[in-house]
């Protein structure tokens, strides 16, 4: 197929094709909310919003089914907005570019937004379909799910009438889930000290790219590469052989996304440049050999950088590399009761050096 509009059921894909054109990063759901309210108006359905920005659309029961219990169909408006570094895409205005590979629908260099765009599309298709026979329906669309379930927590008593809810935010067709993982976010702050860079030093960028990334809940069991972990592994190897100072480390962005890219800006003695490059190349080959079955696009590159005046001192450099190298990522425990079910996992999600501290974000489930 060359277009998702050829997919079945057509109503679902019609709405998903419209939704993917609408900016809807977490905490910026204004446009998608307008779309939902306009949809309700065109369909002649009652709609309302609350203080948090959640939207509720009501569809009356089919004739003869008025006494059936109200069913709430719930999805969230926002999406995780992530893109590859080299991709030019403005999530505040640009539509998601689609590509079809075999029987899979993907985005071109960005997140697809099927979480939970497809859930919203399913609910809209049910609201629009005139041929379905059903009891009363309430379609609830919440805001800011991806960064902390803000809309769900802000629901006030009386906004909904229904007491039976189907959450349309899952991964497996034909599967009904009756429970949900708990989770928590952790921010680790490491104080760092900087000093003036002295001596005959070269400045280089070590960059990790080409990884699949993915959702820290859905994809964590696949052992996809984490750019921050792989970068820290390379840095740890380099510092065994070279006099290395860190200037900056950047990787990841969202707490629930497995980092696809990470970079380190480093300073080394000019006499150590070739050794650094050899180490990055050698370790990069080892890493690719290990993760090639799941992440064949992995790359580790070294490029020249502009000179800088300050770098982390030796102890801060050691502490930060060691911490990143030691922090866990991935599946920590599997369920004893349900085969194949991840029970405990953690995502090393983000690292930044800002002023006199390094901040590291972890997301655990």
Residue 249 near residue 262, CB atoms below 8 Å: yes
Residue 135: DSSP 8-state: S
Catalytic status, residue 18: no
Instruction: Report which secondary-structure segment, H or E, holds 351.
Output: strand 342-354
Q: Give the rounded distance of the alpha carbon of 76 from its chain centre.
A: 15
| Nearest CA-CA partner of 235 in 276, 185, 202 | 276
Among 82, 116, 145, 253, the active-site one is 145
- Burial per residue of 53-88, b for 16 or more beta-carbon CB atoms within 10 angstroms, e otherwise: bbbbbbbebbeeeeeeebbbbbbbbbbbbbbeeeee
Separation between Cα atoms, residue 37 and residue 279, nearest integer Å: 57
Q: Give the rounded distance of the alpha carbon of 211 from its chain centre.
A: 13
For the chain, report the end-to-end CA distance as a whole number of angstroms: 37
User: Residue 302: how many CA atoms within 13 Å on its side-chain side?
Assistant: 21
| Nearest CA-CA partner of 29 in 146, 169, 170, 183 | 146
Residue 233: other Cβ atoms inside 10 A: 20
Separation between Cα atoms, residue 229 and residue 262, nearest integer Å: 9
DSSP per residue, 16-80: HHHHTTS--BTT--HHHHHHHHHHHHHHT-EEEE-TT--EEEEEPPPTT-TTSPPEEEEEES-B-
Among 29, 58, 78, 253, the active-site one is 78
Catalytic status, residue 289: no
Q: Catalytic amino acids?
A: 78, 145
């Amino acid at each position: 197929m060359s277009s998702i509009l050829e997919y079945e059921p057509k109503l679902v894909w019609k709405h998903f094709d419209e939704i993917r054109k609408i900016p809807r990063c977490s905490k910026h759901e204004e446009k998608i909310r307008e779309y939902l309210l306009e949809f309700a108006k065109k369909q002649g359905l009652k709609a309302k919003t609350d203080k948090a920005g959640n939207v509720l659309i009501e569809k009356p029961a089919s004739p003869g089914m008025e006494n059936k219990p109200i069913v709430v169909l719930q999805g969230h408006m926002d999406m995780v907005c992530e893109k590859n570094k080299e991709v030019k895409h403005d999530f505040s205005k640009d539509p998601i570019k689609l590509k079809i590979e075999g029987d899979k629908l993907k985005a071109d260099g960005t997140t697809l937004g099927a979480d939970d765009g497809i859930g919203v599309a399913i609910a809209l298709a049910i609201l629009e379909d005139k041929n379905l026979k059903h009891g009363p329906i309430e379609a609830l669309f919440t805001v800011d799910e991806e960064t902390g379930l803000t809309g769900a927590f802000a629901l006030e008593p009386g906004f909904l009438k229904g007491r039976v809810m189907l959450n349309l935010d899952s991964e497996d067709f034909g599967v009904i889930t009756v429970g949900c993982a708990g989770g928590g976010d952790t921010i680790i702050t490491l104080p760092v000290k900087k000093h003036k860079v002295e001596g005959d030093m070269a400045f280089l960028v070590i960059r990790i790219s080409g990884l699949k990334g993915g959702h820290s809940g859905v994809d964590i069991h696949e052992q996809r590469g984490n750019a921050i972990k792989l970068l820290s592994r390379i840095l740890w190897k380099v510092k065994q052989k070279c006099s290395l100072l860190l200037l900056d480390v950047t990787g990841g962005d969202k707490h629930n996304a497995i980092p696809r890219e990470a970079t380190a800006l480093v300073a080394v003695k000019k006499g150590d440049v070739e050794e650094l490059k050899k180490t990055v190349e050698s370790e990069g080959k080892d890493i690719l050999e290990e993760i090639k079955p799941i992440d064949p696009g992995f790359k580790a590159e070294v490029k020249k950088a502009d000179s800088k005046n300050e770098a982390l001192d030796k102890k801060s450099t050691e502490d930060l590399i060691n911490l990143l190298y030691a922090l866990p990522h991935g599946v920590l425990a599997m369920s004893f009761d349900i085969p194949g079910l991840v029970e405990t996992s953690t995502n090393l999600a983000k690292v930044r050096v800002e002023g006199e501290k390094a901040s590291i974000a972890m997301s655990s489930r």
